[in-house]
Amino acid sequence: MINIVTFPHAIAQIQNQIDFLTDSLRDSGVIYQVSNSISTQHLNILEEGFYPFFASEIAVFCKNHKTKIAVILTEHLEHKKNSMLVNERKLGVRNTYLRDALIRCESLFSLLPHIRFFLVLGHLPLKEKLKKIFKTIPIVEAPYLPVKALSVIQAEADIQKIDFCYQGSLTPHRKRVLKTIKNIPASVSASFDNDAHQRLLTLKSARFALQIPQYKEWRYISPMRALYCLQNGIPMINISDHVTHDFDLIFPRVGTKKLTEELEEYLTLSPEKCYLDTVDRYNAFVERQAKSKLPAMLKLWNDLDRSNSFPSNYFKQNQQQ
């Protein structure tokens, strides 16, 4: 069995990542559990974001039990011009978006001898950039899975829906974008809901959801936010001047130079058609992706750590699929 460890994170903060991973494991026929503690009986997967004390505890655990862990990478790490970048900001320089970047990186690097492999959810952070940093540790991508389009029910005439909603933290750039959007005749909501129920209610109260990068020069879409919108029947518009991956082409995109004009055009369009077209593009993208190496890596991990985490016939069944 795979043990997905949520600690030290609040479950609400990583729920999208947990859902993505458990869906991938379930699709591969892997038995798993979600826990807030490390298991001595199972293979443990943790999400990065460790602090020194917890990293030390993990190291002691791995030494005592002669085992290794797998780590989900969520932040964008890159080695460029003799500098380490975290989310495209130089490590050690003030980072307004990820204030504890230095501590988190130090803790992660201290655990490298105890990491069996890194796990990337979907295509981000980019595997080719990570390989230049972690040259001896395998990096495996958990695949995207198809999304079944929901039947989008138009709001009743007496129910007023918000035109655009943004959900997430408010960086200076995001505040500027939202202020600009308020110049057009549209209703706009911005919130950061830790409560899962309230978050969903807020999303479903909108005609369109917005993806706004934390910095103007930020080049990447948030796959977790994008999938959350798709799975809940709300079309998402990406406000960005960059296209870096085929995944970016799935979602409607509005540039910052003509932000108000292009967003106003969406007010004349059908959210339902926009949503269904996006689902079609996403599922076509899923069909084109390479076969995932995650099941093979889990088998190797199981063998190397001499674990009994899987039923004896699991890998034989998966080889036949």
User: What is the rounded CA–CA span in Å between residue 258 and residue 262?
Assistant: 6
Which phi and psi (to 5°) does residue 124 adopt?
A: -125, 145
Give residue-wise pLDDT tens across range 122-166.
999 999 999 999 999 999 999 999 999 987 654 444 456 899 999
- Domain 162-286 CATH assignment equals 3.40.50.2000: yes
Give residue-wise pLDDT tens across range 197-254.
999 999 999 999 999 999 888 999 999 999 999 999 999 999 999 999 999 999 999 9
SS3 253: strand
Give the CA distances from residue 139 to residues 153, 214, 228, in Å, rounded to whole numbers and listed in that order: 41, 26, 24
Which pLDDT belongs to residue 82? 81
Q: Residue 280, CB half-sphere, CA atoms under 13 Å: how many? A: 6
User: What is the rounded CA–CA span in Å between residue 89 and residue 214?
Assistant: 12
User: What is the rounded CA–CA span in Å between residue 243 and residue 252?
Assistant: 11
